[in-house]
């Protein structure tokens, strides 16, 4: 339709000018005057067409940035396989420290947990192989605190110890956990190819070991990655397989995670109403198990579903609920995600001051995390919003 109007706006004055040329009963001076007017109309219409095209291009660019910024709070499983935790829990030298650290983690006191676990790493009387689990535990704490470089360092140190371990087969579950966690870091940093490589290595180990619950966790991660790449069928296949395994073992938290992930696929593939049903089912499980991370994650995804349905008030309400929980438990990445999504809602409401407030707060967290892809997007959006403010 726009193309047709553009053609008419140029062709109309041209036809009019040609018609004037054919007329023989009007003076030449009048013809020249009318031709000049026609030429000015054509030039003005061309200017409007070019300006409209430029505005649409800029709008499309902004929308692409907005869509890329929409983020989900990543669910991170900090649980170690039973074969690893059993060793830590049975060893008299480690039992007290392990349980103390776990207690701190349960209360979201991750810095305190790190101090406890670090003492075990420094204890020369503890065999090196028993320190594998503590390296993974410390890495997981740093991951929650959004200190990804430190997290990666400890996960990789656990792999280095594994290379030197005598009974490598017995340590494979720990290796799978470390690989999967490194995959989470790369996923978080916006490096899907590297993340997928680590996820698939972890899945291969768990399948060889017959460790189905570990496989379910890996499938959840791989499915989430495929979903972000727009491979919805592959994503759904992974998530449904993970859900089937979790239902088999009656692992409620894993079931809730899979339901949430399937809901995300429905949201992204244009079925937000179906997604909401699954999110509320997952929310019920998370509330029953008092999983604050899980509840915040579901709230954020419900917000995304409502945003897709253009119900901005509902979306904002759920983002705020998620943000409140994440700030309370100190989950910085989750809070940054919520802040970014709240900013997007205020963009649709035309409240630039509110947008900048939330984006600046999110930017500080992303800079601290060194999450470069998100930093770049936010900086571009902040620049656009500030320029638009000046123009008003």
The pLDDT-based confidence of 76 (bands split at 50, 70, 90) is low
Which of helix, strand or coil describes residue 294?
Answer: helix
Interatomic CA distance for residues 79 and 183, integer angstroms = 16
Encode pLDDT of 221-254 as tens digits: 999 999 988 899 999 999 999 999 999 999 999 9
Interatomic CA distance for residues 180 and 161, integer angstroms = 17
Looking at the predicted structure, is the pLDDT value of residue 13 above 80?
no
Q: What percent of the chain lies above the pLDDT cut of 90?
A: 56
Looking at the predicted structure, is the pLDDT value of residue 89 above 70?
yes
124 DSSP assignment = T
Contact between 203 and 218 under an 8 Å Cβ cutoff? The reply is yes
Q: If you average pLDDT over residues 13-41, what whole number do you get?
A: 66
Domain with CATH 1.20.58 in the chain: 331-392
Instruction: Tell me the chain's radius of gyration from C-alpha atoms.
Output: 28
Q: How much is the pLDDT for 110?
A: 93
Q: Which of residues 270 and 377 earns the better pLDDT score? A: 270
Contact between 303 and 341 under an 8 Å Cβ cutoff? The reply is yes
Q: If you average pLDDT over residues 307-333, what whole number do you get?
A: 94
Place of tokens 């996820």: 199
Looking at the predicted structure, is the pLDDT value of residue 63 above 50?
no
Q: How much is the pLDDT for 169?
A: 80
Interatomic CA distance for residues 188 and 146, integer angstroms = 10
CA 104 to centroid of chain Cα atoms: 27
Encode pLDDT of 30-58 as tens digits: 666 666 776 677 677 666 767 666 655 55
Q: What are the structure tokens assigned to 376, written together?
A: 């770049």
Q: What is the mean pLDDT of the chain?
A: 86
State in Å, rounded, how far the first CA of the chain is from the last one: 30
Looking at the predicted structure, is the pLDDT value of residue 175 above 80?
yes
Q: What are the structure tokens assigned to 154, written together?
A: 């400890």
Phi/psi at 101 (5° precision): -65, -40
Of 60-69, 89-98, 371-380, minimum mean pLDDT range: 60-69
CA 33 to centroid of chain Cα atoms: 62
Q: How much is the pLDDT for 57?
A: 55
Looking at the predicted structure, is the pLDDT value of residue 150 above 80?
yes
Class of domain 216-296: mainly alpha
Phi/psi at 167 (5° precision): -95, 80
Interatomic CA distance for residues 189 and 354, integer angstroms = 27
Q: Measuring CA to CA, how many Å separate 156 from each of 136, 178, 212, 222?
A: 9, 7, 24, 20
Encode pLDDT of 177-222 as tens digits: 999 999 999 988 878 899 999 999 999 999 999 999 999 999 999 9
Q: If you average pLDDT over residues 6-18, what whole number do you get?
A: 63
Residues in the chain: 392
Contact between 304 and 315 under an 8 Å Cβ cutoff? The reply is yes
Structural fold of domain 331-392:
Methane Monooxygenase Hydroxylase; Chain G, domain 1 (1.20.58)
128 DSSP assignment = G
CA atoms within 13 A on the CB side of 74: 26
Domain with CATH 1.25.40.10 in the chain: 216-296
- Cα dihedral 84, 90, 91, 93 sign: positive
Q: If you average pLDDT over residues 278-293, what whole number do you get?
A: 96
Widest distance between CA atoms in the chain: 113
Q: How much is the pLDDT for 375?
A: 85
Q: What are the structure tokens assigned to 221, written together?
A: 């991660």
Q: How much is the pLDDT for 373?
A: 75
Encode pLDDT of 333-385 as tens digits: 899 999 999 998 998 888 989 999 999 999 998 888 777 777 888 888 888 88
The pLDDT-based confidence of 257 (bands split at 50, 70, 90) is very high
Q: How much is the pLDDT for 299?
A: 97
Q: If you average pLDDT over residues 107-113, what whole number do you get?
A: 93
Name the nearest CA neighbour of 100 among 87, 114, 82, 90.
114
74 DSSP assignment = P
The pLDDT-based confidence of 23 (bands split at 50, 70, 90) is low
Q: How much is the pLDDT for 384?
A: 84
Q: What are the structure tokens assigned to 349, written together?
A: 């409401």
Contact between 126 and 94 under an 8 Å Cβ cutoff? The reply is yes
The pLDDT-based confidence of 1 (bands split at 50, 70, 90) is very low
Q: How many CB atoms lie within 10 A of CB 15?
A: 12
CA atoms within 13 A on the CB side of 197: 7
Q: What are the structure tokens assigned to 350, written together?
A: 């035309």
């Amino acid at each position: 339709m726009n193309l047709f109007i553009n053609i008419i706006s140029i062709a109309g004055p041209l036809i009019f000018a040609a018609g004037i040329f054919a007329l023989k009963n009007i003076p030449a001076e009048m013809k020249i005057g009318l031709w000049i007017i026609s030429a000015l109309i054509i030039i003005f219409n061309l200017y409007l067409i070019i300006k409209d095209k430029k505005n649409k291009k800029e709008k499309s660019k902004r929308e692409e940035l907005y869509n890329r910024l929409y983020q989900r709070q990543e669910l991170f499983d900090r649980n170690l396989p039973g074969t690893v935790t059993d060793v830590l829990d049975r060893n008299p030298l480690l039992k007290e420290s392990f349980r103390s650290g776990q207690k701190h983690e349960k209360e979201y006191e991750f810095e305190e947990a790190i101090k406890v676990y670090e003492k075990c790493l420094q204890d020369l009387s503890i065999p090196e192989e028993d320190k594998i689990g503590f390296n993974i535990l410390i890495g997981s704490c740093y991951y929650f605190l959004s200190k990804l470089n430190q997290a990666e360092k400890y996960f990789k140190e656990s792999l280095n110890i594994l290379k030197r371990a005598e009974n490598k087969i017995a340590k494979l579950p720990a290796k799978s956990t470390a690989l999967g966690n490194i995959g989470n870091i790369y996923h978080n940093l916006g490096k899907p190819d590297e993340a997928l490589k680590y996820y698939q290595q972890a899945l291969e180990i768990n399948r060889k070991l017959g460790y189905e619950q570990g496989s379910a966790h890996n499938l959840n991660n791989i499915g989430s990655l495929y979903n972000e790449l727009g491979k919805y069928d592959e994503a759904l296949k992974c998530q449904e397989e993970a859900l089937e395994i979790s239902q088999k073992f009656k692992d409620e938290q894993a079931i809730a995670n899979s339901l949430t992930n399937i809901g995300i696929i429905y949201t992204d593939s244009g079925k937000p109403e179906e997604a909401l049903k699954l999110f509320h089912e997952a929310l019920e499980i998370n509330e029953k198990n008092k999983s604050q991370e899980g509840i915040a994650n579901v709230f954020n995804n419900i917000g995304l579903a409502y945003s897709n349905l253009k119900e901005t008030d509902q979306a904002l309400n759920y983002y705020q609920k998620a943000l409140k929980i994440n700030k309370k438990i100190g989950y910085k990445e989750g809070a940054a995600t919520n802040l970014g999504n709240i900013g997007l809602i205020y963009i649709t409401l035309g409240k630039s001051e509110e947008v900048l407030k939330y984006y600046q707060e999110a930017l500080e967290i992303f800079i601290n995390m060194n999450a470069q892809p998100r930093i770049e997007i936010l900086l571009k959006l902040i620049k656009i919003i500030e320029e638009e403010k000046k123009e008003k």
